[in-house]
Structure 1
Amino acid sequence: MSGILGVYAFDRVWNVGKFLYYGLIGLQHRGYSHSGIVTLGNEGFTAVIDKAAPEDLEIDELRGWAGVGYTGTRPGYPLVTDYGVAVVDGVVRNVEELLRGIYKDPEMALADSKGVFSLIFLTRDGRMIGYRDESGIKPLEIGGFGFDLAILSSETSGITVVGGEFRRELMPGEMVYIDQYSVSYSRIKEAAPRYCTIDIIYQSRIDSHVFGLDIYDVRVRIGEELARERRVDADVVIGVPDTAIPYAIGYSRRTGIPLELGFVRTGSSIRTMLASDYFLKIVGIQLKLNPIKSSVKGKKVVLIDDSMVTGRTLKNVVFSLRSLGAREVHVLIASPKLISNCPYGMQIPEERELITANLSDEEVARVIGADSIYWLSLEGLYRAVGHRNLCLGCMTRVYPREV
């Protein structure tokens, strides 16, 4: 799981280091255990790469009129080669060989590429190439500052947080080529798109536009679908921050059950699904989900979350609500069940660790301490999104592409 960013200034008097730094902070919800920025200036490349979140990078020495940035769960990016520097979201075969080919002939190399990925490549001679493979599973957006800067980003949040203007999303199989004088596009491959469902329901920021969808709006519609499928006799609706709050809004609107703010976060955002350290998973849950007693005491609670992976988060949350006096806790999940891992780089555990792949609904409810539990249906998901062009491999074990 990763966020990638590229910034290109058409006038070489610019220094884009801070644009990359703050843009990456706008993407660090996509993964934050490894990050880095590499800029290209008159003296060549300058790099800051660390096993840390983007907000912890020291960028004072960065100089350059173009650059790329990476934030994610894997080491190795940004990848600096003899031909330039690249960042990748997803899985790509023979990446260094691919970059060598892109340097020489971008269209031919990308036409022969294998994998499920979005890529930004800044060459040593000052060209920037962005590409999104033909499946479209991974997003890639383009925006900028008028005629001064071009910005490539996994999500619109990497563009808008630095004041940039979103222009459009690269189509599946499309390449964008940027040099000092122009921006041009080429459709390299065409295939039926399959957009990542986890990106829609969990990964993307609430304020982002991804896969042609305004994420906030589609999540509200999912909440409305949950209400249509499973109406609970309850006193209050609470969403697990931050991704599930729009689901709770939609559920509350459709049912008329009051919406309450149920939790307060401590410190920076911690995405426990991305944490590799078990202690951080447990402590991180309490840091990001400290409950508000008056919202739940003596009440029947509908608790909505975006997904369920191992069940640890919800087990702790339900325990916290009960310890503060909640009479009943009914859990609704705003996605179908996760029953398989992801071969495309989304950090979903192996099947043996996925609670819904191994236990019945009743057993899951018992394990997490809920009075009841319900998952959104596939048909409900399709209705909320508005089409069926989705990658659902982690929910159906049917994958659209081999890698």
Structure 2
Amino acid sequence: MESQTADEVAAPNVSPWVVGTMAFATGAVIANLYYAQPLVDTLARVFQADSDAIGLTITVTQIGYALGLALLVPLGDLIERRKLLAALLAAATLGMAAMALAPSLIVFGAAAAVVGLTSVAVQVIVPFAHVLAAKGQQGRVVSTVMSGLLMGILLSRTVAGLVAEAFGWQAVFGLGAVLTALIAVVLWRALPTVAPTVTMRYPALLGSVLRLVREEPVLRLRMLYGALTFSTFSVFWTSAGFLLAGDPYNWNEAQIGLFALFGVAGALAAKFAGGLADRGWVHLTTGAYLLITALSYLLIGWGAVSVVALAIGVLLMDMGVQGTHINNQSLIFALRPDARSRLNTAYMVSYFISAAVGSALSAVVYVAYDWIGVAVLGGLFPALACVVWAVEHFSRSRREAAAATGS
């Protein structure tokens, strides 16, 4: 297939099938990171290990993903993306197969690290989707792909629990391996070949990520919005299982897993954020999404005694977080078309770190202050983001007024 530049490949009639395939791919691949989480008790029995050892193994997966964000995602600007995706997905397939067949916890953990490292393929797909979309459609296309990714995160635990119950724990990772392999083949055939945007040595490529952060104030601002909203996402989902497993709910693992479907509804609702971004409403809708996220925690706090309030609160929270995220990526990808992967690296590293911080704080606060403490903590982050947005809004208004008067 003849190589094309990023500008040449964009077309007003980008295939909905290709966009849908990329959305499914991001969801299926990111799910590989989360399949083990609802199976911790089973894995502890199978490998005759204590809960700390199993928890460390799951942490290794997340560490691998963090390293992949920092070290592999920038290659999307240096290496032809289609080839890079094929290599990453092939390695992820082997890692998932090794997890399914692992004879010991050490082998399982090593394979999980490989899966974490190479599952950053999803963060190569997202900026690739922006490249393929025609001007005026980027927000809509990116929102579709990102909705698939968030659905993969939310549904992975439910799928893992149901498959393990029906066919055993090994079938969960075997299914992941098969899906990842199929995705690699389908994407190889469906995606065009797009020429790399830069030619530089690998150390210089990594160094340029920090330079982008220094030089692009919009990137820094959107990194802050992303960090403050995704941290609250982690605050909720880290402790939600404790709430639902205890009084007054006393739900089992299957019921808790199915509750994640309310988050999926929020993700689907936020898909419309891309269309609004394409119409130039990014600034105003960002403020609305941040406010929705902050206010959702009033309902989430009430969720200690009302499952209806909890469900509506989760739907609104996920919608706000996802809508903000789509707006963020729509803006940062447009900053420098030749550096989309490196811009995504800077943004997603801060995003991932904030999730880890939110998760750790949520566990500590739940033990000390129960669910009301989690609700206060979760609402604090988007409330702070609302303050930042208000400062940005008034500063922008003053600049526009000054420009209008010629002063």
- TM-score scaled to structure 2, two decimals? 0.26
Q: Which structure carries more strand by proportion? A: 1
Q: Which structure carries more helix by proportion? A: 2
Higher relative contact order (CA 8 A, sep 6+): 2
- TM-score scaled to structure 1, two decimals? 0.26
